[in-house]
Structure 1
Amino acid sequence: MTAAGWPEEESDDPPAIDGRWRGLLVRTRRRLAAVAEAEGERWVLWLPVAFGAGVSLYFDLRQEPAWWIGAAALAGCAGLLLAVRRWFALAGLVLTLLTAAAGFLVAQAHTARMAAPILTRSIAGATVTGRVMAVERRPGATRITLREPTVSRLPPERTPAALRIRLSDRHPAPAPGSVVRLRATLLPPQAPAEPGAFDFQRRAWFMGLGATGFATGAAEQVEAAPVTGWSMVTIAFERARGAIAERVAAAIGDPVEASVTTALLNGEEFGIPESTLDDFRNSGLAHLLSISGLHVGIAAGILFYVVRAMLAAVPYIALRWPIKKIAALFGILSALAYTMLVGAPLPTVRSVLMTGMVMGAIMLDRHPLSMRLVAFAGLVTIAMDPEGMLGPSFQMSFAAVVSLIAAFERGSRRLAEWRRDAGWVLRGLFYVGGILLTSVVATLATLPFSLFHFQQIAFYGVLSNLIAIPITSFWVMPWSLIAYALLPFGFEAPAVIAMNWGDRAVIWTAEFFGRLPWASLTVPAMPGEGFAALVLGGLWLCVWTRRWRWVGVLPILAGLASPMLAARPDVLVSGDGTVMAVRTPDGRLSASGKGGGRLTETWRERDGERTAAEPWPAAGGWSEGERSLSCDALGCLYRVRGKTVALPRLPDALDEDCGTADVVLTAAVARGCRAEWVVDRWTLRHEGAHTLTVTTDGVRLETVRGLRGDRPWTGGR
């Protein structure tokens, strides 16, 4: 009440503030609705993303879901879509969920379809008999894939459907399609080297490989029933690849140049020396060695223009037949034949799908390049091989194509206007600029995937591609098509030699840029959350066309920064406990011995380090800051941030270590050990490789099994 007795007037401030917020929300909602409506044609592009998200969800599970889960989710979303079909926005959300459920179901069905026995323990001295379906020629050895094998020490119901066996180069390689018998040591597919590392066991499951191994003698050919069905086609192309490799080796004397030429002709990269592969990786030219969209597109494009020119040279045909559409049909057929010849790897299958749709669009008088074309190709490719979506080949291939089409959509009109009245000099500059722009866009688009899968950045990729791509496009690939045409008649040598001149220039480019100072940079492994942010940010940036697409830059930057923020483990232990490594004061890893091979190399690569520290000393050690290592004949003690980690070499050290250490890591059996954390033989056998990180909150142990769970491809671990 006021002094006069009148009631106090209520303040108008809260309603005014509330009204301003309400108005802001209304304006924001209208603005977003207007942008969403303007992007109406682009919303469908998120359906393949949703499909892939459903596939990723399936593979991220720690336990195999019940067989009916995927079907029930799909049916439930379909019913819900019918119920909300009158509400456009809600129906779009449910359609996205329906597509994700479809991806989940497809991945689940694909896993069930690929089910086959896998080896769970090593077998030495087994007699193996099987049909040779693939021959991989490598320096110093040959690797063969046997289908429908019999193994002397395994019952039929536990025998894998396929084996991959390494043969010494001292013995002749068997011919594709032949049935051979040999003595071999068989091993289960290798588990990840550490939690989060590449899972070869999963890849082997979907390749149909149930075991790997090495032969202890020569392969003996035996009589068998003739090949029938699709296997005949597979073996015929495998034999053709072998014949191409032999013809190239006969025409080109230098083994390095011959191996690169062979890779471009038949898709076999196995014969290329590791040093040459390193040069191609460090220079950013590794994509030229793997048959992918570039090669398929060039091959189909060359044949399209050649056939069209030949038909146009005949007036009767040019005036009466649709020569452009006929040439497009030949382009499709050439892409299919090329894909079969190089073994149909996943990136090539994607390229054939896109090439087929581009040529199909030409035949139907439609625009050949669009984001919807890529979206459809992605949907089909994921459905064909859901697990392949998780690999670098699929991801880098689609990232490059999506980013290039997005850039083309943004600048095609302006570039067309500039080029319309340009002379031949300016057109040449436009071509060079186009290659430069293509290299920059593709390099930036594939950078996140190179970081995630290979922990590497190639700094001179743009410059090296500016030189190598024109050579490949205008010299190497045309001569390769001529070589293909001459191979059946045995006259391919001149074309192969001419093709090799271009390959020699590409190899020189890779060596020059790959060996320059700071040619490449290695970084620590990117966490999964950072990678997911990068992918979503990149898709947001490429799919949308309005200004709100720039919001995608924020998660991209967060993802790029994530490797620097993620803490690498202090101790790593292999799955059998025979190899261990600890982090030194300078941040590198010191392994328990000179062994380990590829295992310790993987640890080092995921650390982002080019060189490893000296191995553990037989006696003595080092101490600096909060880290120290002391070793004697019985084992080592590693101290970090106030915690003591015992790493015994012999079981005799367990009694003392279990009473004094906070953590005990041993390949022996440690029953009754009183340490707070104990990892012994049985733990390693069940959980796989371990990593140990000491933080201010205590000790964190992570395991391979803890990260990937129990799935069909884990072999019962």
Structure 2
Amino acid sequence: MATTAAQPPSTHLSALQTARAWLESRLDAERDQLPLWLPVMLGAGISAWFVLPDSIGWRGVLLAGLAVMLFAIALGRGGRTGRVVAISAAAFSLGVGLIWTKADRAAAPVLQRPIVAHLTARVEKVDQLPARSLVRLRLTDLQWTDPAPANRPIRIRVNILDRDVPAGLVPHATVALRARLMPPPPPAVPGAYDFARVAWFDGIGATGRALGPVRILSGGSSNEPVRTRLSRHIQARLSGSAGGIAAALATGDTGGIDEADQEAMRASGLAHLLSVSGLHITAAVGLTMLLATRLLALNLRLALTGRVPLLAAALGAAAALGYTWLTGGEVPTIRSCIAALLVLAAMALGREALTLRLVATGALVVLLMWPEALAGASFQLSFAAVTAIIALAEHHRVREWFGPRDEGWPRRLLRGGGSLLLTGVAVEVALMPIAIFHFHKAGVYGALANIVAIPLTTFVIMPLEALALLVDAVSLGAPIWWLTGQALAVLLWIAHVTAAAPGATTAIPVMPGVAFGLIVAGGLWLALWRTSWRPFGLLPIAVGTVWTLLTPPPDVLVTGDGRHVALRMTDGQTALLRERAGDYARDMLAEAGGAEEELVPLSEQAHASCTRDLCRATLSNGDRSWRVLATRSAYLVPIADMIAACRAADIVVSDRRLPRGCNPRWLRLDRPALESTGGIAITLATGNVRTVHRPGDAHPWVSATSTARSEQP
């Protein structure tokens, strides 16, 4: 009987040394790119904390990162591989610790159940929302009168109707009001917006609306903040959404833009123009530096010293800081300001300004200061766009195609247009998976729309608006405001034409989280490496894309309160249980279900029958039919009839507690069940049931809302 001799230890050692030598050579070839992965690994640690459910998992990955770091230090023997692995593991563990610490430090009481209360408070922030006839207040230093909740929040957010807002309402004023408050809501269905998480890191323990007029007790002033006065001034010069967009460009206040126009901007891929970010900071800094350079160069002595660019950069930095303060100092604006200051510092030092190292430095600063920003769409969209633009510009083939050369203006113009189109396509491709993951929609014509809209905004609208504001000092700005309004009308026309084009947007069901992670990892691999292993990033992108496209839309969507149910019918339409559902509920259910058409009433469908109190619907999936029963009114059905209807159904949904004898064949989703699961998405073909609340989820905002749900009667 023949035997196979075991491989001698020297063979294994030789293979390990060969692999290590190969990796050392690869990393040596990429040594200039290695620092770019530091914020990536920091972000990976932050992401792991968000994904893992409890402290056991958080401690596990944190300690695992530290163990890998120590292992790499011990066995690295001073090589590049050991250093890279050790630093990467340390950054990963630092990310876990940062976000965990930030979440613990943000802890604040959360309201346990909806209440109507009288209270006095200090105004911390005032947001004008004229398009919705609302003013939104953030209040702190709360003094509760009747009733006083057991778990008293220290900060709340309240909406007030315009007619109930007193004159002179400004930050730091003390006000008295009566308000209906509720705990910050979790996602209504899987994949929807998680306000509870955002509220936790902002310290907001309740949200609601004022019932009746608000009274100012002290601190009121007829002098509104500069930002509010500027927004009002602009909207007085330009009416409608044009004034709202102009105010957004100047102050970051988007409350004056009509919902229809906002939706058109989103569908056309132009919504980024409404959020003060890199584009706006760049335009402000660029315009300031251009004017400063021209004016300073008039001084011959100063021009001969060569200090004009340095002084212009200093004035540009001042403009960036002032613009950031004026627009409210939100995280996206601060992020863009940091990036602008880094660019100006690089220019002052004579270094190349726009590089991926600059982007990595900006991302590192933001993640160290606001690690929770990683989970938001704003951070992901802005850094993905800038990374795509710079990575494309640094590619050697792109530099060959679009680099400066001696040629006539027609060819130069054509080459510039091609460069803009290629950049727009690259940005659109980079942003598409993020838009699908967060908003469940993919734009098609955004690259083309941005080719016109970005230059129009940067070189026409913003300079005209700045000039109009400047000339308003001598009351001569009317003609320039008219020109600004015409340019804004063109921008809105582009948005509406693009949004109305056939196939402008495609609705896609909620993207699986793992698929999104694969696409992001592949995109980073493609953008950050430079040698021959760069194309391997296409593999996870392909896997994540196919996974997303093959994910079927849910057949049943149930909100966490059980009031709203959306069913995908046999003909492909999505039907809604309650015909009087508001626009928010309709849009949220349509996005989560990947429905492109308007939701239709369930009572009008051929495979459904509805009374005033109940709806029965039959859903066909393959060879099987599923019967769904849902309550649709506050009136109780006779218990015998209800029990009989339950026994004939596969799934029963209700916004109230069902009788014990109500036992459907498969799922019973009444108030007690939904309080523990949150909103639900069901795919009948696979039997997959996704819930908002995962079992054992110990993230602090989930624990806080879980306590609130358990204490509600």
TM-score (norm 1): 0.87
The Cα of 1:119 is off from its aligned counterpart by 1.6
Q: Which of these residues, 648, 652, 655, is aligned with residue 667 of structure 1?
A: 655
- Secondary structure in structure 2 of the residue aligned to 1:204: helix
Residue in 2 aligned with 1:43?
34
Preserved contact between residue 123 and residue 140 of structure 2 (Cα < 8 Å)? yes
CA distance in 1, matches of 2:250, 2:321: 14
For residues 3-42 of structure 1, the aligned pairs below 5 Å read 33-42=24-33
Q: Which amino acid in structure 1 is aligned with residue 107 of structure 2?
A: A
- Secondary structure in structure 2 of the residue aligned to 1:191: coil
The Cα of 1:103 is off from its aligned counterpart by 0.7
* 1:146 maps onto 2:139 in alignment: yes
* 1:581 maps onto 2:573 in alignment: no
CA distance in 2, matches of 1:412, 1:479: 37
Residue in 1 aligned with 2:711?
none
Residues 503-536 of structure 1 deviation map (CA, whole Å, 9 limit, x = unaligned) = 2322222223222233222222211111111101
Residues 188-233 of structure 1 deviation map (CA, whole Å, 9 limit, x = unaligned) = 212201123221110111222221111121111112599xxxxxxx
Preserved contact between residue 64 and residue 712 of structure 1 (Cα < 8 Å)? no
Residue in 2 aligned with 1:701?
689
- Secondary structure in structure 2 of the residue aligned to 1:170: helix
Percent identity of equivalent pairs = 32
The Cα of 1:55 is off from its aligned counterpart by 0.6
Residue in 2 aligned with 1:467?
452
Preserved contact between residue 119 and residue 142 of structure 2 (Cα < 8 Å)? no
Residues 382-415 of structure 1 deviation map (CA, whole Å, 9 limit, x = unaligned) = 2222222111111110011001110111148845
CA distance in 2, matches of 1:34, 1:420: 36
Is there any run of 5+ residues in structure 1 with no aligned partner, and where? 1-7, 16-20, 227-234, 624-628
Q: Which moved more, 1:546-555 or 1:488-497?
A: 488-497
Q: Which of these residues, 169, 173, 178, is aligned with residue 175 of structure 1?
A: 169
CA distance in 2, matches of 1:693, 1:560: 20
The Cα of 1:659 is off from its aligned counterpart by 3.7
Residues 628-683 of structure 1 deviation map (CA, whole Å, 9 limit, x = unaligned) = x4444552344443444433454434322444444433223235344453322222
Q: Which of these residues, 582, 593, 609, is aligned with residue 607 of structure 1?
A: 593
- Secondary structure in structure 2 of the residue aligned to 1:181: strand
Q: Which of these residues, 515, 518, 540, is aligned with residue 500 of structure 2?
A: 515
Q: Which amino acid in structure 2 is aligned with residue 519 of structure 1?
A: A
The Cα of 1:23 is off from its aligned counterpart by 12
The Cα of 1:285 is off from its aligned counterpart by 1.5
CA distance in 1, matches of 2:563, 2:454: 46
CA distance in 2, matches of 1:445, 1:535: 9
The Cα of 1:82 is off from its aligned counterpart by 5.0
The Cα of 1:365 is off from its aligned counterpart by 1.6
For residues 304-343 of structure 1, the aligned pairs below 5 Å read 304-320=289-305, 322-343=307-328
Q: Which of these residues, 641, 647, 656, is aligned with residue 644 of structure 2?
A: 656
Residue in 2 aligned with 1:158?
151
CA distance in 1, matches of 2:64, 2:378: 30
Q: Which amino acid in structure 2 is aligned with residue 249 of structure 1?
A: Q
Q: Which moved more, 1:397-406 or 1:513-522?
A: 513-522
CA distance in 2, matches of 1:383, 1:488: 42
Q: Which of these residues, 594, 600, 614, is aligned with residue 635 of structure 1?
A: 614
For residues 478-557 of structure 1, the aligned pairs below 5 Å read 478-483=463-468, 485=470, 495-557=480-542
Residue in 2 aligned with 1:106?
98
The Cα of 1:34 is off from its aligned counterpart by 3.5
Residue in 2 aligned with 1:384?
369
* 1:214 maps onto 2:202 in alignment: no
Q: Which amino acid in structure 2 is aligned with residue 616 of structure 1?
A: L
- Relative distance call for 1:564 and 1:82 in structure 2 (3 A) is closer
For residues 437-452 of structure 1, the aligned pairs below 5 Å read 437-452=422-437
Preserved contact between residue 534 and residue 560 of structure 1 (Cα < 8 Å)? yes
The Cα of 1:29 is off from its aligned counterpart by 7.6
For residues 223-238 of structure 1, the aligned pairs below 5 Å read 223-224=218-219
TM-score (norm 2): 0.88
CA distance in 2, matches of 1:297, 1:122: 44
- Relative distance call for 1:413 and 1:509 in structure 2 (3 A) is closer
Residues 55-79 of structure 1 deviation map (CA, whole Å, 9 limit, x = unaligned) = 1111123235699889867766665
Is there any run of 5+ residues in structure 2 with no aligned partner, and where? 7-11, 707-713
Q: Which amino acid in structure 2 is aligned with residue 207 of structure 1?
A: D
* 1:250 maps onto 2:224 in alignment: no
Aligned residues: 687
Preserved contact between residue 70 and residue 102 of structure 1 (Cα < 8 Å)? no
Q: Which moved more, 1:150-159 or 1:240-249?
A: 150-159
Q: Which moved more, 1:375-384 or 1:450-459?
A: 450-459
Pairwise CA RMSD of aligned residues? 3.5
CA distance in 1, matches of 2:676, 2:55: 17
Preserved contact between residue 522 and residue 539 of structure 2 (Cα < 8 Å)? yes
Q: Which of these residues, 630, 640, 645, is aligned with residue 647 of structure 1?
A: 630
For residues 62-73 of structure 1, the aligned pairs below 5 Å read 62-64=53-55
For residues 279-358 of structure 1, the aligned pairs below 5 Å read 279-320=264-305, 322-358=307-343
CA distance in 2, matches of 1:690, 1:406: 40
CA distance in 1, matches of 2:256, 2:219: 30
